[in-house]
Structure 1
Amino acid sequence: MNKKYRITAVLLIICLCISLIPESVRAQEPEEVPLEEVKEPERPQETEKLQGSDEAGEVSGDDAAEDVTSDSESSDVKALDAQSGGEVIEPEVTVEDEDPGKGRLRGDVPEEFYGPDGGIRAKATGLQHNSKFAGYNIIEGIDVSKYNGTINWTAVKKSGIDFAFVRTSYRGYGTGKLANDAYAPANMKNAAAAGVRIGAYIFSQAITVEEAQQEADYLLNSVKGYNITMPLVFDFEYFEGGRLAKAKLTNRKRTDICLAFCERIKAAGYTPLVYANKSMLTNDLYASEISSKYLIWLAHYTSASNYTGDYTFWQYTENGKVSGISGVVDKNVWYAKPGEDSMSFGTPGASAVVTTPDVTELSGKASSYDKVKLTWKKIPEATGYAVYRYNSSKGAYEKIKTISSANTVSYTDTGRTMGTTYKYRVKVYKKTESGTVYSKASNTVSVKTDSTMTGKTNATSVVVRKGPSTLKGKLTTLKINTGVTITGISGSWYKISIKTGGKKKTGYIKKSYVTIIRKPTLSVKAAAPDKIKLTWDKISGASGYEIQRYNPSTGKYVKIKTIKKGSTVSYTNSGLTSGLTYKYKMRSYKTVKGKKIYSYYCPAKSAKTN
């Protein structure tokens, strides 16, 4: 057979053999071995049992179970839903997802904790202490949170650690909700049992004084039942992209937030402590104002801090090693004057309890288009009152006035916008030796300013324009003392409703050509068989008042008196006939450029002589 044909025959035989192999066998690929699930390590890793843990005093067996707290955080990724077309199911955001501690406390330390003067990750030895602490006792301590995992506190104590600040709570960096650190109860209990002095802290994201006070109350509640022998701490630091960083507060507001927290803690009988890094203390707070009243805990990760302000505690590294803790931990020193190292910062006794003032009752009403008058019930034990108005852009109440007199029970909020609703609350405060204590907020009142206001023209010939500019066309001209209804404001112009040519139109008039003067509220009553007394409220800006009495024989009102002082608020009409009814009305006036500009008349009031 020709060689060419032999080769062709062999190829045909091979193809025939392949076709006889089952398709399922041909399509089979090697089985893929699934990868084990890998979780992102947190700081620190899970604590391993220490060698020699059967020593007396160490936690083992059933007691060890009390020293373990579960962390509900998970880095598991939800699988794709086969029926959703491959769409990723996003987990619901919880306050635990917004824990600001998952930044620095897990090892992601912002640059400001080091500073441009030396980003040296300080070691446990070789620290250089500021000369101002010469002669002080230098006491070693740590601060911990759930990110340090389960801790063997007996081993910690044996390693030379004398105190610990335990994170018990935090505020979410997004929603601002408050939450507890799940590891706190075990840390507080076991640290104290091992002989470690304990304090506690809240990782703040407060952006108002009210939130700082709320955080203080939350921290106080979290330490109930524990023997606190170190300060209670306000951890004030930024979380990148968090609510505190985004709020861009002034130094004054940030400082007031710290002071408000400290006042609340002090009033409860504990010692407050403000924690902040060097950058925050130097650039974002009035640190000397805080340190003049309360203790400072400096965070500056270097072997020798050059911070010149006052501080009592120094957190010098986030990378410390301590027996009993797996991974790294924040390490601190406490500079204690001789004798202070044995002092107790203190769980308060009954004598330290301060009673909060009673809550007041608030009412309010619009007093004009741009004013709201608030009044409240007097509280006997009050030192004063704090007035708050709701800020819708921030979603929080802001203090607008502090009333320092306990006898003052009203306040007028001016400069408001026409036809706008405002919400208010009032808190009672009381000053004590321990600090200022505030009551809970009063009831909320909502007040809408007047949607319109009335005024009178104060010039002999006032041009009404089609728009808020002298370049706009003229609608009409008004004489002096012509009443106008103002419906809005546009810069230096009033927007008014006016009738011209038999039609209702919108016009604009210069503010300087209109006098706003409110009409009085009149009351009348018999004072004697031949006298009736009239009283009214004082009108702001009034030069005087004009009183008229109705004449039944002519069917008209006749002027009977002109009051030439705006401060006068009463008049007695005498020489009347006993047993007759008399009717009165009045208006206020303001002298402008030598001319009297009158308000509208008030509603008529009647009284019968005796």
Structure 2
Amino acid sequence: MAGIRKRWIIYGWIAVFLFTIGFSQKESSAFSTYSEAEKAGKENSFRYEEGERKKVSSTKKAVTSENVTIIDVSHHQGKIDWLQVKDAGIEAVIIRCGYGQDTDENGDYTQDDAYFKYNVSECERLGISYGIYLYSYAKDTTAAQREADHVVRLIKEVRQQEGVLSFFTYPIFYDMEDRSLESLKASTFSANATAFVNRMKKSGYDNIGFYSNKDWFEKRLTGTIFSLYPKWVAQYNSQCTYEGKYRLWQYTDQALVNGIDGAVDANQKYGSWEANLQVSQVTLNKKSAVITVGSSITVKATISPSGVINPYVAWKSSSTAVASVNSAGKITGKKPGTATITAVSHNGKKASISITVKPKSNRITSLKKSGSNSIKISWSKVSGVTGYQIYMSTKKDSGYKRIRTTSSSVSSYTKSGLKKGRRYYFKVRSYKKAGSKYIYSNYSAVKYLTR
């Protein structure tokens, strides 16, 4: 018995050991989100190759206050003479704070940009407005959250270094461009962006934006989250052809600025940027509308006050089966019924429009004499309706009375008791019962027959 008890004790300790190892492995795997690209720490994208800047634009352009007001910088520009930069007429700068997660896979702070704190300090000293950006390698939401932690830590450290950050008036941009992320689905990009935003907001920061090139915004960064915050679009061209809304356009990587050794990215802004100015009201140009299945209207949302950093809304439908809405506020009727379409700002301000979707009109397909005093009326069916109403008159333009209401399964009705030699006019319409409300289509074209 003693030997058996000893064996059971040994088995018990083995089980505990194996459970502990398994638990540790699960804990470890939950945080093993470092890609090989991040471990290497070398950017690869449309503008980088193995951590080195590629020449994408074809011509270099000297900067004056008339042609460039905003630049973006990182360790690639080395130590910058910011007084000369200011004297060159630069209005603002977007500064890279680092790349990837808060620590490397060994738990060390090696992923901070080497010149971030120096660049912030000089902008504060000289009164140059700035924002910051983080270069992302996140392939999942865990990594995205830890990238947000990276930004939060660095902002905290520069606050400790500088005190009040008086000129930190531009957004915190999440830079999603690395080639290692190309295989991700659009839904994954959206999930990662949402995780980053929520983590930042939890720490008190909602002045957030997204950076990428035109192609990625069109094909990968397409979720609702990207329409809620300012977009910074890179397209090295004579004009930006991105059709969505954006606030910054990076149009060259070959600008020449006094105080910076070598070329630098130049950007054009749209609208004003005021720190801490938030949306106070959202208004729509319509409060209600009636549309037909298959037709569309576009509703315009106006943000107050003007000049907010995030002047965007997300559109939502209470019933996408009845009415859908896209990111531009275009509402399309899907089936008969009612829906509420709501525009929501990034800080939760809302405005709504009530939409009634009418059934499509049907048509009278035939009128035929039946028996000695009847006419058979046949009509086309309409999907998604409750039934049909048939109207008759002896005059073309007035005097119509409803002679029958049928279910949606019926497509003909024979009207009896008619007088020989008299002309009779007919029209039909479909209807949908939505709760206690009846929604009617337009009438069909009038048709007649002499009995």
Instruction: Identify the TM-score tier after normalising by the shorter chain.
Output: 0.3 to 0.5
| TM superposition score normalised by structure 1 | 0.34
Structure with bigger RCO (C-alpha 8 Å, 6+ apart): 2
Instruction: Give the structure with higher Rg (CA).
Output: 1
| TM superposition score normalised by structure 2 | 0.46
